[in-house]
Amino acid sequence: MGRAHSNGYNRITNFFPELEYTPVLKAVCSRNAVKVQAFADQWGFESIETDWKALVARDEIDAIDICTPNDTHAEIALAAAAAGKMILCEKPLARTLEEGQIMVDAIDKAGECGVPLKTTVWYNYRRMPAVTLAKQIVDSGKLGKIYHYRANFLQDWTISADLPQGGEGLWRMDVDAAGSGVTGDLLAHCIDTAMWLNGAITDVSAVTETFIKERMHQLTGKVQPVGIDDACIFHCHFANGSLGLFESTRYARGHKALYTFEINGADASIRWDLHDLNRLEYFDHRDDSIVRGWRSIHVTDGDQPYMNKWWIPGCGIGYEHSFVHQVADFLKSLETGGDCSPTFKEALQTQKVCAAVIDSANSRSWKDTNVDSDFV
Amino acid sequence: MGRAHSNGYNRITNFFPELEYTPVLKAVCSRNAVKVQAFADQWGFESIETDWKALVARDEIDAIDICTPNDTHAEIALAAAAAGKMILCEKPLARTLEEGQIMVDAIDKAGECGVPLKTTVWYNYRRMPAVTLAKQIVDSGKLGKIYHYRANFLQDWTISADLPQGGEGLWRMDVDAAGSGVTGDLLAHCIDTAMWLNGAITDVSAVTETFIKERMHQLTGKVQPVGIDDACIFHCHFANGSLGLFESTRYARGHKALYTFEINGADASIRWDLHDLNRLEYFDHRDDSIVRGWRSIHVTDGDQPYMNKWWIPGCGIGYEHSFVHQVADFLKSLETGGDCSPTFKEALQTQKVCAAVIDSANSRSWKDTNVDSDFV
Amino acid sequence: MGRAHSNGYNRITNFFPELEYTPVLKAVCSRNAVKVQAFADQWGFESIETDWKALVARDEIDAIDICTPNDTHAEIALAAAAAGKMILCEKPLARTLEEGQIMVDAIDKAGECGVPLKTTVWYNYRRMPAVTLAKQIVDSGKLGKIYHYRANFLQDWTISADLPQGGEGLWRMDVDAAGSGVTGDLLAHCIDTAMWLNGAITDVSAVTETFIKERMHQLTGKVQPVGIDDACIFHCHFANGSLGLFESTRYARGHKALYTFEINGADASIRWDLHDLNRLEYFDHRDDSIVRGWRSIHVTDGDQPYMNKWWIPGCGIGYEHSFVHQVADFLKSLETGGDCSPTFKEALQTQKVCAAVIDSANSRSWKDTNVDSDFV
Amino acid sequence: MGRAHSNGYNRITNFFPELEYTPVLKAVCSRNAVKVQAFADQWGFESIETDWKALVARDEIDAIDICTPNDTHAEIALAAAAAGKMILCEKPLARTLEEGQIMVDAIDKAGECGVPLKTTVWYNYRRMPAVTLAKQIVDSGKLGKIYHYRANFLQDWTISADLPQGGEGLWRMDVDAAGSGVTGDLLAHCIDTAMWLNGAITDVSAVTETFIKERMHQLTGKVQPVGIDDACIFHCHFANGSLGLFESTRYARGHKALYTFEINGADASIRWDLHDLNRLEYFDHRDDSIVRGWRSIHVTDGDQPYMNKWWIPGCGIGYEHSFVHQVADFLKSLETGGDCSPTFKEALQTQKVCAAVIDSANSRSWKDTNVDSDFV
């Protein structure tokens, strides 16, 4: 993810020259000095660090971007908050709800004695133009009363039993580093988008599965039990009375990163699919009945979200652009004094749902999420 | 459904002339003599009855086709079984598991003293050529170990609060006549296909919703509580270790009759969609990696199931053909002495899952289905 | 095609019971007595003939349906016209424009002394519900000024060099029997639909190709030059100022019977595809710009053409239904006294375009079509 | 296009750090000093010029990138060649074949006395990963003997009669600046890809149309005749015996930039669509017949062209990435001493086809293209 974030910062001058603030890449930190220097050269960082504490200690740095494995988010965030720095954190916010709560508390505390600390969590899909357009459509009321929300995030990269767990490039397979499997990695995205578009999820009933029970651990060299969830399914209620349905897996042969969502309202419906990220599907029941159908909207026109920054109609953009948009919105929030959603506090709500999902699966029972009632 | 069944019988001579047995439409029964005579004229029935008991009593009739509302299935079936007649029954088999069990018991009893009674239930989607092809692919082992099965059946015809419940053309809205809402009407189809393709469902966790709580009842003229489920979602385990996910609703704006299913195996995946019923999607991981992708198979070639009976490659067939195929297979079973699946006993397994689903939703807990261990 | 026509007649009582006239299948004719008797039994014909002249001579027969190879259309039609019988003729009307003109003249002459003879040519695609809907949309003016019309008909069944020409099931490969290759067989359909929807084609510039120059002839047993066009492409002008583009081939690997057309107007566009025959794509520029896109209309609702005769919304129909619709419209024309388009005279206009196309390809020059100025 | 090119140069260090050469943006030139300074700041150019001749005169500059309107390509290229500089030129190479020939001659002459000048023309679509994959598939021989090539490029942005011609942002509407309409602007792309994939086009038969005959000219303020072709269609022969079909228009309502191509071979077919640029469709007749279908290949895996440079499988890239790839390939060609296709000489072949197309349309006759016989 370091590449996607770095690209985000590097594109601002080119595509958002009107912004008041511009990112300056003061330093990048990683344990291997040789590798991190190469990375710094590649992405234009002025200096390197091999100890993140040194980085946080540097006075001329205003913002810390955390894109390390999940098990380090809390510690780094707490230090950064204590140092009064703005924080951009990879998703999920933390491994567990408890860790996330500590992080939010630290931000609150840091903000008590003056200006609140700026935070944002990289739930980047909100800023895919087609997804942002979905938000505009929902907010316009065009959908009418909402009945159903469904989302899935399907991958197939861990089907082989020979894939090790843990270690370089594979920490997502290690429950200690990741906190959970697809729930925190993939469903967290689905939940973030869902609550942004459709409001709070109030209770959940989930099932998880670990299809391959033991894998060799890269760090220990031993075959060990797998602690993560390979697949997770849950249904739920939203505060607005609609039903939700979510599924994620890394065992859906044929799907590389199929994040899709669909919302059905009394008057209209929308759906989106990451594999065709420049399109939004829209059905409007108010269309004349004989010519009514799902519309395939190619979201590449200048009057559609963010698209006046890019190319001509019909010419799509890619995955990384959502990160550029989030950087731009973060910088804009410095101008306007608003938030760059989701803040840590907002991302904590997603964490609550993830925790309830895991809890529900483990206990084979419905669980309340305790998402803030004034959320969204 | 009377039209779809009648069409099925009428097409046999034209498209399956090689069959040993040919249906003879001796009589059709309905309460309104004028209407039923018109129906008989339209579909070539030799005579009419207005009392189904008179029909069942006629000696020259070998088989009874039940396509009345669900609340009459059991009574008619019991009488037909007692009279030793073959029975073809609309799905779901019955309103409840208990009713279904009584029907199966009656068939068993009727068969005790001689030849077993032939039965079949009109789970017609099994005989869509693309679905039958899916079965062939599953049975060939091409998919490898199965990880996921998901299906949904989405409609949008009951969203208006002005739609009455019960009465002419609307008995599906009346819980007394229908037994349940989308669970028995739509999910029953999904479950039947699922267990046919992927084996027994062992336990379920479900949620149901009735979005519009009261509707005017057409028969009483009064606004009454709605007893059916407007929507139902459940996840489940299959006996083979795969996870299942099912959803049905009549509140998914934009979907007329979107029955879809998808199966993900370690080696390959398939999916199907009733709105494009002549196509089967297929992904094979063994394809050369750089040219690997989901294949859209247009199931209209003579070497694909049933398609040597119809037109030239590329020229699709429609919804009603699945009923023709079921009649043909039923007649064939008379020649061969085999079963025309699903029999009453097989359809009872689907009834068990439906019952567990409703029970799970009502109790907010997981429920075992008790599907026969030797089933499928 | 005899099966598709016979099915058309057989379905009327079931699906169009309100019509005043009902087809009675008096006799079917073919040279092989055994085979034709089997066909008669299968499709409900009262009697058989093995000499078509005997059939035409029978007084109790009111209408002759010609579904023999193209080289026999004219002779049979002339005899039928002389006998004062209504004629339904497979497309194309004839092998050549000259033959077609003789047939039209014969009909005119037969009609001179009284009631004009009813004729129709089986350009069945007009009566696919989605195509009929396209006609309604065009006629409503929704498209605005038309700029472009494009159509193709792509197949792949003759790629093998081992496929013989001529004889049983292969007369379409024999230029003497067929008159031409894809031009008369496939482009004729495209041209018929095009002029029905978009008016007269005035001039054409074409190219044809015969990829495999010699094939064994099934009747002679000898390898002979192939006389048909394997592929044909042409562009053209329509009388309304729009540009047309047509392509057909039997060498497009992967396409079984891909007949597609698209019309682009100043305000809206439509397109259709035989492989997904229940769908019509529609784009309306007047839609609100941010939610504008191609609509995929599933043409299965009761307010869409012919669909009140069939099943419930979402449940598609197939290829053969277009023939049922043409029979119904033909019978209806007997009630109303109107025409069942296309009549021989209308189909002759398509013949003119086909002739100009072949002539253009042979002479490598533009050719006027001389389509009647008052046509359509 | 200046933005797309500048982005191309700016991304090299980030995504192709292994390259020996790195672009240094010495200067950017445009007539308006204020605007060009802003552009230089936005894209990281070290300096500006307002007279292109001053730019060409600067010794420290090794390469000139021409992305001005078509009427200036030749003059700038001649000066750059005379100054011995490498040249990257926007497509089409020139307004006319004659201008293009002069440019190629100048390059040849400049190269005579030593090292040949490096040139490339920005036919960027070759370097869309899915298109490059298409080239790999063709070169592998998987398609078998080729029968058909078809391509179109459909837009709808000039339908309004109120759109002026010429001037700021609209020089493509002015025949003096552009040379032609869709032929040079859009079909040139289609022809370049086609001959790259399928070899030389030998002769063409074309039609063009200018739907709106007069438009206000922005520079003169007067209503003047429109000199460009709004639409152009042609069919053709390729040297390998296959038939070609090309269409382009700016009057296809509903299509923003629909560049599609399809190739049909005896054994397999492929097709691509710019609106879904990360996908390639592939049909292989050698697949097992019952599971044969068009494959939708999501070209986002690391073993597919260029994709090891970007993100994880399933995460698509956009339009601008094709320019980054061309810069990278150009830089690589400096290392290896090879060409970065298409060179000026190769792009001249496309110019020959464009000239023959315009000539054919004007003369209503077939024209030979005189594409070099040893081309491709």
CB contact under 8 A, C313 and B256: yes
Closest in C6, C42, C311 to B319, CB measured: C311
Q: Do A319 and D321 touch (CB under 8 A)?
A: no
Q: Which residues of chain D have pLDDT under 70?
A: 375-376
> Residue C374, Cβ neighbours under 10 Å: how many?
6
- Does D137 contact B at CB distance below 8 Å? yes
Contact B310 C318 (CB under 8 A): yes
Q: Do A251 and B283 touch (CB under 8 A)?
A: no
pLDDT at B168: 81
The Cα A186–Cα A159 span in angstroms is 16
Alpha helix positions (H), chain C: 2-15, 33-43, 52-57, 73-82, 97-112, 129-140, 175-178, 182, 188-198, 321-336, 344-363
Contact (CB, 8 A) for A254 and A159: no
Which chains have 3 or more CB–CB distances shorter than 8 Å to chain C?
Answer: A, B, D
Reported confidence tier of residue A176, pLDDT bands at 50, 70, 90: very high
Cross-chain Cβ contact C283/D365 below 8 Å:
no
User: Do residue A257 and residue D318 have CB atoms under 8 angstroms apart?
Assistant: no
Chain C: nearest CA to D203, how far in angstroms? 11
Mean pLDDT, chain B, whole residue set: 96
A142's tokens: 């065009």
C91: CB partners within 8 A, 6+ apart: C121, C122, C123, C188, C189, C192, C347, C350
**Is the pLDDT reported for residue C214 higher than 80?**
yes
Q: What is the pTM of this model?
A: 0.97
What's the pLDDT at B376? 58
The tens digit of pLDDT for each residue in B196-246 reads 999 999 999 999 999 999 999 988 999 999 999 999 999 999 999 999 999
Question: Are C17 and B41 inside 8 Å of each other by CB?
Answer: yes
Determine the Cα–Cα distance for residues B117 and B339; give it in Å rounded to an integer. 10
In DSSP terms, B148 is beta-bridged to B243, B264
- Interchain contact D42–A (C-beta under 8 A): yes
CA distances from D232 to D180, D236, D251 (A): 11, 13, 11
Q: Using an 8 Å CB-CB cutoff, list chain D residues near A256.
A: 298, 300-301, 312-314
Please tell me which residue, A374 or C100, carries the higher pLDDT value.
Answer: C100
Whether A295 sits inside 8 A of C290 (CB atoms) is no
d(CA D100, CA D73): 9
pLDDT tens sequence across C344-365: 999 999 999 999 999 999 999 9
Higher pLDDT, B169 or B139: B139
Cβ <8 Å between D296 and B291? no
With H, G, I as helix, E, B as strand and everything else as coil, classify residue D120: strand
Half-sphere exposure of D50 (CA within 13 A, CB side): 8
- In D, which residues are within 8 Å of A317 by CB distance? 318-320
CB contact under 8 A, D287 and B304: no
8 Å CB contact between B332 and B14: no
Residue A316 and residue D43: Cβ atoms within 8 Å? no
Distance CA B185, CA B228 (A): 11
The whole-number average pLDDT for the span A235-246 is 98
Mutate to test the interface with D, among A5, A320, A325 (most CBs of D within 10 A): A320
Q: Cα dist. C225→B65, B80, C211, C213, D324 in Å?
A: 58, 66, 11, 6, 52
Cα–Cα distances in angstroms (integers) from residue B372 to residues A364, B64, B187, in the given order: 23, 27, 19
Closest CA to A103 of A121, A130, A126, A115: A121
Cβ-nearest to D291 among B137, B290, B291? B137
Lowest mean pLDDT segment, chosen from A372-376, C221-225, C270-274: A372-376
On chain D, the residues whose CB falls within 8 A of the CB of B298 are 293
**Rounded to whole angstroms, how far apart are CA atoms C293 and B84?**
59
Dist CA A368 CA C185 (whole Å): 66
**What pLDDT is stored for residue C376 in this prediction?**
58
B348 phi and psi angles, rounded to 5 deg: -65, -30
Taking only the tens place, the pLDDT of each residue in B341-367 is 999 999 999 999 999 999 999 999 999
Residues C30-44 have pLDDT tens digits of 999 999 999 999 999
φ, ψ (nearest 5 deg) of residue C16: -130, 55
Q: Is B247 left (phi over 0), alpha (psi -120 to 50) or beta?
A: beta
CB contact under 8 Å between A205 and B231, yes or no, is: no
| Residues of D with Cβ-Cβ distance to C138 under 8 angstroms | none
B-chain residues within 8 Å CB-CB of C17?
38, 41-42
Residues of chain B with pLDDT > 70: what percent?
Answer: 99
DSSP letter for D95, please.
Answer: S
CB interface of A with B, residues 148-187, below 8 Å: 148, 150, 154, 156, 159
pLDDT at C169: 85
- The residues that bridge with B154 in the sheet, in sequence order, are B249, B258
3-state secondary structure chain A: CHHHHHHHHHHHHHHCCCCCCCCCCCEEECCCHHHHHHHHHHHCCCEEECCHHHHHHCCCCCEEEECCCHHHHHHHHHHHHHCCCEEEECCCCCCCHHHHHHHHHHHHHHHHCCCCCCEEECCHHHHCHHHHHHHHHHHHCCCCCEEEEEEEEECCCCCCCCCCECCCCCHHHCHHHHCCCHHHHHHHHHHHHHHHHHCCEEEEEEEEECCCCEEEECCCCCEEECCCCCEEEEEEEECCCCEEEEEEECCCCCCCCEEEEEEEECCEEEEEEHHHCCEEEEEECCCCHHHCCEEEEECCCCCCCCHHHCCCCCCCCCCCHHHHHHHHHHHHHHHHCCCCCCCHHHHHHHHHHHHHHHHHHHHCECEECCCCCCCC
The CA distance from A236 to the nearest CA of chain D, in Å, is 28
- In chain B, which among 345-374 make CB contacts under 8 A with chain A? 364-366
Reported as a pLDDT band with limits 50, 70 and 90, residue B375 is low
Query: Hey, is B15 helix, strand or coil?
Result: helix
Do residue D318 and residue A310 have CB atoms under 8 angstroms apart? yes
Mean pLDDT of A303-308: 97
Partner D, chain B 304-343, Cβ-Cβ below 8 Å: 304
ipTM of this model? 0.96
Task: Measure in Å the smallest separation between the Cα of B187 and chain A Cα atoms.
Answer: 16
Percent pLDDT > 90 in chain C is 95
Residue of A13, A257, A298 with shortest CB distance to D315: A257
CB A91 within 8 A of CB A121: yes
Note the pLDDT of residue C1. 85
Q: Provide the pLDDT for residue C168.
A: 81
Q: What is the pLDDT of residues B295-331, one digit of tens each?
A: 999 999 999 999 999 999 999 999 999 999 999 999 9
pLDDT band at A376 (very low <50, low <70, confident <90, very high): low
Helix axes A188-198, A129-140, angle to 10 degrees: 30
Residue C114 has pLDDT above 80, yes or no: no
Residue A167's pLDDT is what?
82
Instruction: Note the pLDDT of residue A375.
Output: 65
* Cβ burial D141-174 (10 Å sphere, 16+ → b, else e): ebbbebbbbbbbbbbbebbeeeebbbbeebbbbb
Q: Rounded to 5 degrees, what are φ and ψ at D52?
A: -60, -25
pLDDT of res. D375: 66
**Strand-strand pairing, A367-368 and A201-209:** antiparallel
Which residue of chain A is at minimal alpha-carbon distance from C281?
Answer: A293
Do residue A4 and residue D276 have CB atoms under 8 angstroms apart? no
Residue partners of C253: CB distance under 8 A and separation at least 6: C156, C159, D147, D264, D265, D266, D267, D268, D269, D283, D285
